Amino acid sequence: QGPGMESLPEAVLLRILASLPAGDLVLVCRLVCCQWKNLVDGAALWILKCQQEGLTRAESEEDAENWQNFYFLSKKRKNLIKNPCGEEDLEHWGEVENGGDGWKVEELPGDFGKEFPSEEVHKYFVTSYEWCRKAQVIDLRAEGYWEELMDTTQPKITVRDWYAGRRDAGCLYELCVKLLSEHEDVLAEYKSDTVTIPQDNDGSWTEISHTFSSYGPGVRFVRFEHGGQDTLFWKGWYGVRVTNSSVTVEP
């Protein structure tokens, strides 16, 4: 029997390991021997994987951060809000409060409205003449963000939403996002002011965003809630319009 993989130069072994799926490296290859464990736990392998897959990071972050976590977070980075633009009607939105005539989905730009800044967005949710609210709870573990990562690295969690009024009606808008523990205790919270859009507005879309960081250990869920109403109490759907909501865990 010839020499085994243990006789390979480390640089060659690194290249071989870097070609394997990340999950296999962590769950299988780490357990093979001390040398493989050290390689999987070290920065060089993950720097190589990041280079191969075009994942780059700011120069200032090169030293301090954990490259393995950076790799996983970059690969996973996606909007965790499901059905953010109403393409599936109200699917995935729970705890719905349907004041007035309730929530409705309309095609952009809508009556007395403006096109959205991104061509990929085609629809929006619109509120009525009493408060309409809807929420989504994101299970971070189910989305692949493991407990140690959330507790130790505490990656930034960025929340964004877009809102607009119609030019012929005034309206109100609110956003409230909570980071929750396993038992749904509130560990951090962001609540916007109540935004008032006057009746003679220009119908343009406004982005609101907030980034949670250094929020402490224990975060397991993100609860995103937004809503609004019109200020004229007109029957139908003259309240605030919302679309393209997002929650992302940042690398």
Per-residue model confidence (pLDDT) at position 225 = 98
Stronger pLDDT, 225 or 251, i.e. the higher one: 225
Nearest of 136, 133, 135 to residue 97 by alpha carbon: 133
- Give the pTM: 0.85
Tokens 């990071």 belong to which residue? 57
Q: Percentage of the chain surpassing pLDDT 70?
A: 94
Contact assessment for residue 221 and residue 205, using Cβ atoms and an 8 Å cutoff: no
Alpha-carbon gap, residue 65 to 82, rounded angstroms: 30
Per residue in 119-134, pLDDT (tens digit) is 999 999 999 999 999 9
Handedness of CA 142, 226, 128, 241 (dihedral sign): negative
Q: What's the full length of the chain, in residues?
A: 251
| pLDDT value at 243 more than 60 | yes
Contact assessment for residue 160 and residue 220, using Cβ atoms and an 8 Å cutoff: no
Delimit the domains of the chain by residue range: 5-70, 94-249
Tokens of 61: 């972050």
Identify the three-state secondary structure at position 90. Answer: coil
Q: Which residues contact 193 (CB under 8 A, 6 or more apart)?
A: none
Identify the three-state secondary structure at position 153. Answer: helix
Stronger pLDDT, 44 or 6, i.e. the higher one: 44
Question: Taking the CB of residue 89, how many other CB atoms lie within 10 A of it?
Answer: 13
Q: Across the strands, what pairs with 223? A: 137, 178
Nearest of 111, 98, 85 to residue 227 by alpha carbon: 98
In degrees and rounded to multiples of 5, residue 6 shows phi and psi of: -65, -20
Per residue in 81-92, pLDDT (tens digit) is 999 999 999 999
Per-residue model confidence (pLDDT) at position 1 = 58
| pLDDT value at 59 more than 70 | no
| pLDDT value at 3 more than 90 | no
Answer left, alpha or beta for residue 64, where phi above 0 means left and psi between -120 and 50 means alpha.
alpha
| pLDDT value at 62 more than 60 | no
Per-residue model confidence (pLDDT) at position 55 = 86
Nearest of 175, 179, 181 to residue 195 by alpha carbon: 175
Tokens 């191969």 belong to which residue? 52
| pLDDT value at 195 more than 60 | yes
Question: Can you tell me the mean pLDDT for 43-48?
Answer: 92
Per residue in 208-237, pLDDT (tens digit) is 999 999 999 999 999 999 999 999 899 999
Handedness of CA 37, 42, 48, 53 (dihedral sign): positive
Q: Percentage of the chain surpassing pLDDT 90?
A: 76
Per-residue model confidence (pLDDT) at position 56 = 82
Alpha-carbon gap, residue 244 to 251, rounded angstroms: 21
User: Is domain 5-70 annotated with CATH 1.20.1280.50?
Assistant: yes
| pLDDT value at 58 more than 70 | no
H helix count then E strand count, the chain: 6, 11
Task: State the fold for domain 94-249.
Answer: Jelly Rolls (2.60.120)
Per-residue model confidence (pLDDT) at position 178 = 98
205-222 burial, b if ≥16 CB within 10 A, otherwise e?
beebeeebeeeeeebbbb
Residue 69 binned pLDDT confidence (cut-offs 50, 70, 90): confident
